[in-house]
Structure 1
Amino acid sequence: MTDLRARLLDAAIALMTDGEEPTLRAVARRAGVSAMAPYRHFIDRDALVDAAAVSGLYLLKAALRGGADGPIVGIVRFAIARPVVARLLLDTPAGRAGLDDLLGGAEPARTQRLALVFGLVRLVLAGDGERALAAVRTGGAGGGDA
């Protein structure tokens, strides 16, 4: 990833964290580059947001490495720490596909784990992260990291 592309993705996530819309112009302004610079890497806002979701998947994978709690607890912890990135993972096609791939496994268990993760992360995004963690730790959210 080029330095400019990384700066643009960081700027997009920072804007979303601040509750602002990540338009290409706003991202350019936040990154301190010309208004046309984002167009070298992204055709439109949707492409930028999808790329931010993919970048978020790399952050999530790095956060899960070496985690002793298992992937579902790790994903919930990540969502608590990085709610904007977690929202990108749930709300973009690239993010959902990445989560599906990350959870892996055979059907129907993979689909059940994915539904569990979506529900728990939505709980975190609604402001109830501790409840989500408690549910997955006690198995009250469908059996933990099954």
Structure 2
Amino acid sequence: MAADGSYHHGNLRAALLERAEAVLTEAGAEGLSLRGLARDLGVSHAAPSRHFRDRQALMDALAVSGFTTLNTRMRTAADSGDPRPIGARMTELGRTYVDFAVAHTALLDLMFTVKHADGSSEELRELGRESLLIVARLLEEGQRAGAVRTGDPVRLAQVAFSTVHGLATLAVASLLDDTPLPEATDLALDVLLAGLRPGG
């Protein structure tokens, strides 16, 4: 077990968040407690309170960290400086979301739960909306290039999100039967992209 002195310059905060996600995955949000995390990391019961005032602050920070990571990955996939066609970047964007959703199911659920909770922070709401806007901006770029149908890009982005989020939900629940996830993802994105094309 690590002693308090083993953590320096914010390392304890990062360690708390890392352990909190592991507990979230293993036991759900109800299994999270600052005292439990302190015990798991071998630090004093008071140590976590230096970084998180209470359990809710911990969950808010987990959600912020999750959206930050997700948005960074999505921006990379959608990079407007990338010379690849819009369709190729949309496909990578969809795969990126599905991969994150399947690998971090409990965290993603917490992210959206906390974001929509009464009293959620402006930072968290903005980070959540940014996920949608990353998709919307790529669709808008596609519209300017004549590769994407007309329409409100935010509304179109919501439809795209519902497709990939629904697919990830089915995968996590083992409801894809014998269809491998990569194959199901490619097929779902092919159908989605066909519908997004002009005249689709």
* 1:11 aligns to 2:40 (yes or no): no
Q: How many residues align?
A: 144
Runs of at least 5 residues in structure 2 that lack an aligned partner in the other structure: 1-8, 78-88, 116-122, 138-150
Residue among 93, 97, 100 paired with 2:129: 100
Shift of 1:116: 4.2
Larger radius of gyration: 2
Q: Please give the secondary structure, in 2, of the residue aligned with 1:92.
A: helix
Structure 1 unmatched ranges of 5 or more: none
Say if 1:39 and 1:16 are closer, same or farther in 2 by CA, change over 3 A.
same
Match of 1:37 among 47, 61, 65: 47
What SS does the corresponding residue of 2:27 show, helix, strand or coil?
A: coil
What value does the CA root-mean-square deviation take over the aligned residues? 3.2
Q: Residues 1-146 of structure 1: matches in 2 within 5 Å?
A: 2-20=10-28, 21-64=31-74, 66-67=76-77, 68=89, 69-93=91-115, 97-104=126-133, 105=136, 108-114=152-158, 116-117=160-161, 120-126=164-170, 127=173, 128=175, 130=181, 131=184, 134-139=187-192, 143=196
User: Which aligned runs of 4 or more in structure 1 are off by greater than 6 angstroms?
Assistant: none
* Structure 1 residue 115 displacement after superposition: 5.6
Q: Is the 8 A contact 1:100 1:110 kept in 2?
A: no
CA shift at 1:111, angstroms?
4.4
Q: CA deviation at 1:124?
A: 2.1
What per-residue deviation string (whole Å, max 9, x for no partner) do you get for residues 37-79 of structure 1? Answer: 1111111111101101111123223433543434333212211
In 2: Cα distance, 1:89 partner to 1:118 partner = 16
Larger CA deviation: 14-23 vs 60-69: 60-69
Question: How far does residue 24 in structure 1 lie from its aligned partner after superposition?
Answer: 1.3
More displaced, 1-10 or 53-62?
53-62
Change (3 A) 1:24 1:122: farther
Distance in 2 of aligned mates of 1:91 and 1:141: 31
Identity %: 30
Paired residue type of 1:139: L
The whole-number CA distance in structure 1 between the counterparts of 2:186 and 2:104 is 15
Please tell me whether the aligned partners of residues 86 and 121 of structure 1 are also in contact (alpha carbons under 8 angstroms): no
